[in-house]
Structure 1
């Protein structure tokens, strides 16, 4: 796993769990292997989860911005319409 320079490692997450559960897929949070964005269903779920205040609160504002941008890019790639902020 390569560390994402824009997102800090979270103490409450084990990145190996995300990779074990979803496999070798792209994640919106690549440091912690959170928010898989490899399928239309995962893109929709990732967008929904990161827009919950309790989930977003675990990141600083710049990290949320990176995660949301990656989800938007994946949505475009997978032809998924997501609500804007």
Structure 2
């Protein structure tokens, strides 16, 4: 999996403040929490929005999606293909 670069338009502290110390699909920027079934579904939905995905390089989007897929599998959640 590729490394995800730090984004200037977000504050990782916000993600920690909002969600706590949980697993994120984008741990660098503390975006897309994947610790609960609800968060996993929401993360999948958000990363598949063009405007959200556009803030990342293509390989970063694939890394985020892979992490969400792995979390979904772990929690026995079915997510639809984008």
TM-score category by the smaller chain?
over 0.9
Q: CA deviation at 1:8?
A: 0.3
Q: Aligned match of 2:26 in 21, 26, 29?
A: 29
* 4+ aligned runs moved over 2 Å, structure 1: none
Partner of 2:12 in structure 1?
Answer: 15
Structure 1 SS opposite 2:62: helix
Alpha-carbon distance in structure 2 between the residues aligned to 1:61 and 1:83: 19
Q: Which runs of 5+ in 1 are unaligned?
A: none
Q: Which runs of 5+ in 2 are unaligned?
A: none
Structure 1 SS opposite 2:32: strand
Alpha-carbon distance in structure 2 between the residues aligned to 1:80 and 1:59: 25
Structure 1 SS opposite 2:79: coil
Alpha-carbon distance in structure 1 between the residues aligned to 2:77 and 2:37: 6
Q: How many residues align?
A: 81
Alpha-carbon distance in structure 2 between the residues aligned to 1:84 and 1:39: 19
TM-score normalised by L of structure 1: 0.93
Alpha-carbon distance in structure 1 between the residues aligned to 2:77 and 2:52: 22
Q: CA deviation at 1:73?
A: 0.3
RMSD: 0.8
Q: CA deviation at 1:68?
A: 0.1
